[in-house]
A and B are shown apart, each in its own frame.
Chain A
Protein backbone atom coordinates (compact mmCIF):
# COMPACT_ATOMS: atom_id res chain seq x y z
CA UNK A 1 0.00 0.00 0.00
CA UNK A 2 1.40 3.44 -0.88
CA UNK A 3 2.57 5.48 2.04
CA UNK A 4 3.79 8.92 2.97
CA UNK A 5 7.41 8.83 4.11
CA UNK A 6 8.86 11.36 6.54
CA UNK A 7 12.43 12.04 7.60
CA UNK A 8 13.93 12.38 10.09
CA UNK A 9 11.85 10.40 12.55
CA UNK A 10 13.33 12.42 15.41
CA UNK A 11 15.37 15.60 15.43
CA UNK A 12 16.83 17.39 18.40
CA UNK A 13 17.92 20.98 17.86
CA UNK A 14 18.97 24.02 19.80
CA UNK A 15 16.67 27.01 20.06
CA UNK A 16 17.28 29.45 17.22
CA UNK A 17 18.53 26.81 14.80
CA UNK A 18 16.96 26.12 11.41
CA UNK A 19 15.24 22.80 10.87
CA UNK A 20 14.06 21.16 7.68
CA UNK A 21 11.58 18.30 7.85
CA UNK A 22 11.18 16.21 4.74
CA UNK A 23 8.29 14.29 3.30
CA UNK A 24 7.78 12.12 0.25
CA UNK A 25 4.04 12.14 -0.50
CA UNK A 26 2.24 9.41 -2.38
CA UNK A 27 3.33 9.72 -5.99
CA UNK A 28 0.03 10.53 -7.71
CA UNK A 29 -1.28 12.80 -4.98
CA UNK A 30 -1.74 16.46 -5.75
CA UNK A 31 -2.50 18.07 -2.38
CA UNK A 32 -0.01 18.29 0.44
CA UNK A 33 -0.34 19.27 4.05
CA UNK A 34 1.65 19.78 7.21
CA UNK A 35 0.06 19.28 10.60
CA UNK A 36 1.58 19.29 14.05
CA UNK A 37 0.69 17.58 17.30
CA UNK A 38 2.08 18.85 20.55
CA UNK A 39 2.50 15.93 22.96
CA UNK A 40 -0.88 14.76 24.24
CA UNK A 41 -2.81 17.38 22.32
CA UNK A 42 -4.86 17.45 19.16
CA UNK A 43 -3.57 17.46 15.61
CA UNK A 44 -3.40 21.06 14.32
CA UNK A 45 -3.43 22.23 10.71
CA UNK A 46 -0.41 24.24 9.62
CA UNK A 47 -0.53 24.60 5.86
CA UNK A 48 -1.92 23.16 2.64
CA UNK A 49 -0.11 23.21 -0.68
CA UNK A 50 -1.40 22.68 -4.19
CA UNK A 51 -0.08 23.42 -7.65
CA UNK A 52 3.23 24.65 -6.24
CA UNK A 53 1.78 27.24 -3.95
CA UNK A 54 0.28 27.56 -0.49
CA UNK A 55 -3.49 27.28 -0.70
CA UNK A 56 -4.19 27.92 2.96
CA UNK A 57 -2.26 28.42 6.19
CA UNK A 58 -3.14 28.68 9.83
CA UNK A 59 -2.21 31.41 12.28
CA UNK A 60 0.47 29.05 13.62
CA UNK A 61 2.23 29.15 10.24
CA UNK A 62 3.99 32.48 10.69
CA UNK A 63 7.03 33.93 8.93
CA UNK A 64 9.29 31.42 10.66
CA UNK A 65 7.73 28.62 8.65
CA UNK A 66 8.02 27.88 4.95
CA UNK A 67 7.19 24.99 2.66
CA UNK A 68 8.64 23.90 -0.61
CA UNK A 69 8.27 21.19 -3.18
CA UNK A 70 11.74 21.47 -4.69
CA UNK A 71 11.87 18.53 -7.07
CA UNK A 72 8.41 17.16 -7.74
CA UNK A 73 8.70 14.39 -5.18
CA UNK A 74 9.80 15.90 -1.87
CA UNK A 75 7.73 18.27 0.22
CA UNK A 76 9.61 20.11 2.92
CA UNK A 77 8.76 22.17 5.98
CA UNK A 78 11.39 24.64 7.14
CA UNK A 79 11.40 26.32 10.50
CA UNK A 80 13.82 29.20 10.23
CA UNK A 81 14.61 29.89 13.89
CA UNK A 82 13.19 27.28 16.21
CA UNK A 83 11.56 28.13 19.52
CA UNK A 84 10.94 25.89 22.50
CA UNK A 85 7.23 25.85 21.70
CA UNK A 86 7.94 24.37 18.26
CA UNK A 87 8.64 21.06 19.97
CA UNK A 88 5.99 18.73 18.59
CA UNK A 89 5.34 15.86 16.23
CA UNK A 90 5.03 17.15 12.68
CA UNK A 91 2.91 15.14 10.28
CA UNK A 92 2.97 15.40 6.53
CA UNK A 93 -0.13 14.31 4.64
CA UNK A 94 -1.11 14.04 1.02
CA UNK A 95 -4.35 13.47 -0.81
CA UNK A 96 -5.91 12.93 -4.18
CA UNK A 97 -9.31 14.52 -4.17
CA UNK A 98 -11.94 12.51 -5.98
CA UNK A 99 -15.71 12.69 -6.03
CA UNK A 100 -15.87 15.38 -3.39
CA UNK A 101 -14.01 13.40 -0.77
CA UNK A 102 -10.56 14.19 0.49
CA UNK A 103 -8.85 11.23 2.07
CA UNK A 104 -5.66 12.41 3.71
CA UNK A 105 -2.90 9.86 4.11
CA UNK A 106 -0.55 10.80 6.94
CA UNK A 107 3.06 9.91 7.40
CA UNK A 108 4.40 8.49 10.65
CA UNK A 109 5.62 11.91 11.71
CA UNK A 110 8.85 13.68 12.59
CA UNK A 111 9.34 14.40 16.26
CA UNK A 112 11.07 17.74 16.80
CA UNK A 113 12.62 18.50 20.16
CA UNK A 114 13.89 22.05 20.68
CA UNK A 115 16.25 22.52 23.62
Chain B
Protein backbone atom coordinates (compact mmCIF):
# COMPACT_ATOMS: atom_id res chain seq x y z
CA UNK B 1 0.00 0.00 0.00
CA UNK B 2 0.96 3.59 -0.49
CA UNK B 3 0.58 4.72 3.10
CA UNK B 4 -0.39 3.82 6.63
CA UNK B 5 -3.89 2.43 6.91
CA UNK B 6 -6.07 2.06 9.96
CA UNK B 7 -9.30 0.20 10.60
CA UNK B 8 -11.99 0.71 11.46
CA UNK B 9 -12.15 4.41 10.65
CA UNK B 10 -15.01 4.87 13.11
CA UNK B 11 -15.95 2.81 16.14
CA UNK B 12 -18.82 3.33 18.55
CA UNK B 13 -18.66 1.30 21.74
CA UNK B 14 -20.83 1.06 24.79
CA UNK B 15 -19.07 1.78 28.05
CA UNK B 16 -17.47 -1.38 29.34
CA UNK B 17 -16.96 -3.00 25.94
CA UNK B 18 -13.56 -4.06 24.65
CA UNK B 19 -12.31 -2.63 21.34
CA UNK B 20 -9.44 -3.46 18.99
CA UNK B 21 -7.95 -0.94 16.60
CA UNK B 22 -5.74 -2.05 13.74
CA UNK B 23 -2.81 -0.33 12.07
CA UNK B 24 -1.11 -1.43 8.85
CA UNK B 25 2.17 0.48 8.55
CA UNK B 26 4.09 1.15 5.39
CA UNK B 27 5.79 -2.04 4.30
CA UNK B 28 9.35 -2.29 5.59
CA UNK B 29 9.00 0.42 8.21
CA UNK B 30 10.80 -0.54 11.39
CA UNK B 31 9.19 1.87 13.83
CA UNK B 32 5.52 2.14 14.73
CA UNK B 33 3.89 4.67 17.02
CA UNK B 34 0.40 5.02 18.52
CA UNK B 35 -1.01 8.40 19.53
CA UNK B 36 -4.26 9.50 21.15
CA UNK B 37 -5.81 12.75 19.93
CA UNK B 38 -8.60 14.14 22.08
CA UNK B 39 -11.04 16.63 20.60
CA UNK B 40 -9.37 20.01 20.10
CA UNK B 41 -5.96 18.73 21.18
CA UNK B 42 -2.75 17.63 19.57
CA UNK B 43 -1.74 13.98 19.42
CA UNK B 44 -0.40 12.49 22.65
CA UNK B 45 2.16 9.67 22.52
CA UNK B 46 0.93 6.28 23.71
CA UNK B 47 3.48 3.65 22.74
CA UNK B 48 6.34 2.80 20.37
CA UNK B 49 7.47 -0.42 18.66
CA UNK B 50 10.74 -1.22 16.99
CA UNK B 51 9.88 -4.22 14.85
CA UNK B 52 7.99 -6.54 17.23
CA UNK B 53 9.52 -5.13 20.40
CA UNK B 54 7.51 -2.62 22.40
CA UNK B 55 10.28 -0.33 23.60
CA UNK B 56 8.21 2.41 25.18
CA UNK B 57 4.71 2.21 26.61
CA UNK B 58 5.02 5.12 28.97
CA UNK B 59 2.12 6.99 27.37
CA UNK B 60 -0.52 4.32 27.84
CA UNK B 61 -3.03 5.94 30.23
CA UNK B 62 -3.99 2.82 32.15
CA UNK B 63 -3.61 -0.94 32.25
CA UNK B 64 -6.81 -1.17 30.20
CA UNK B 65 -4.72 -0.18 27.18
CA UNK B 66 -2.63 -2.84 25.48
CA UNK B 67 -0.75 -2.81 22.18
CA UNK B 68 1.00 -5.52 20.23
CA UNK B 69 2.91 -6.00 17.00
CA UNK B 70 3.67 -9.73 17.03
CA UNK B 71 5.28 -10.08 13.61
CA UNK B 72 6.79 -6.64 13.35
CA UNK B 73 4.29 -5.32 10.83
CA UNK B 74 0.58 -4.95 11.67
CA UNK B 75 -0.17 -3.58 15.11
CA UNK B 76 -3.29 -3.72 17.25
CA UNK B 77 -4.25 -1.35 20.03
CA UNK B 78 -6.71 -2.91 22.42
CA UNK B 79 -8.75 -1.05 25.00
CA UNK B 80 -10.52 -3.11 27.61
CA UNK B 81 -13.63 -2.01 29.51
CA UNK B 82 -13.87 1.25 27.58
CA UNK B 83 -14.75 4.44 29.44
CA UNK B 84 -16.15 7.70 28.12
CA UNK B 85 -12.79 9.40 28.60
CA UNK B 86 -11.33 6.99 26.06
CA UNK B 87 -13.29 8.75 23.31
CA UNK B 88 -10.69 10.18 20.94
CA UNK B 89 -9.02 9.70 17.58
CA UNK B 90 -6.30 7.08 17.73
CA UNK B 91 -3.49 7.72 15.27
CA UNK B 92 -0.88 5.29 14.10
CA UNK B 93 2.40 6.36 12.52
CA UNK B 94 5.32 4.46 11.06
CA UNK B 95 8.85 5.40 10.13
CA UNK B 96 11.54 3.67 8.12
CA UNK B 97 14.35 3.76 10.64
CA UNK B 98 14.55 2.88 14.28
CA UNK B 99 13.89 5.02 17.27
CA UNK B 100 14.53 8.57 16.37
CA UNK B 101 12.01 11.16 15.35
CA UNK B 102 14.74 13.51 14.23
CA UNK B 103 17.61 13.06 11.84
CA UNK B 104 15.24 12.89 8.92
CA UNK B 105 13.32 9.92 10.26
CA UNK B 106 9.88 11.17 9.24
CA UNK B 107 6.81 9.63 10.80
CA UNK B 108 4.01 8.86 8.31
CA UNK B 109 0.56 9.00 9.84
CA UNK B 110 -2.55 7.00 9.11
CA UNK B 111 -6.02 8.61 8.92
CA UNK B 112 -6.88 7.55 12.45
CA UNK B 113 -9.71 5.67 14.12
CA UNK B 114 -12.36 7.82 15.78
CA UNK B 115 -13.56 6.00 18.91
CA UNK B 116 -16.76 7.15 20.58
CA UNK B 117 -17.70 5.55 23.88
CA UNK B 118 -21.32 6.00 24.88
Chain A partners chain B:
no
Chain B residues at the A interface, C-beta cutoff of 8 Å: none
Measured CB to CB, the residues of A under 8 A from B are none
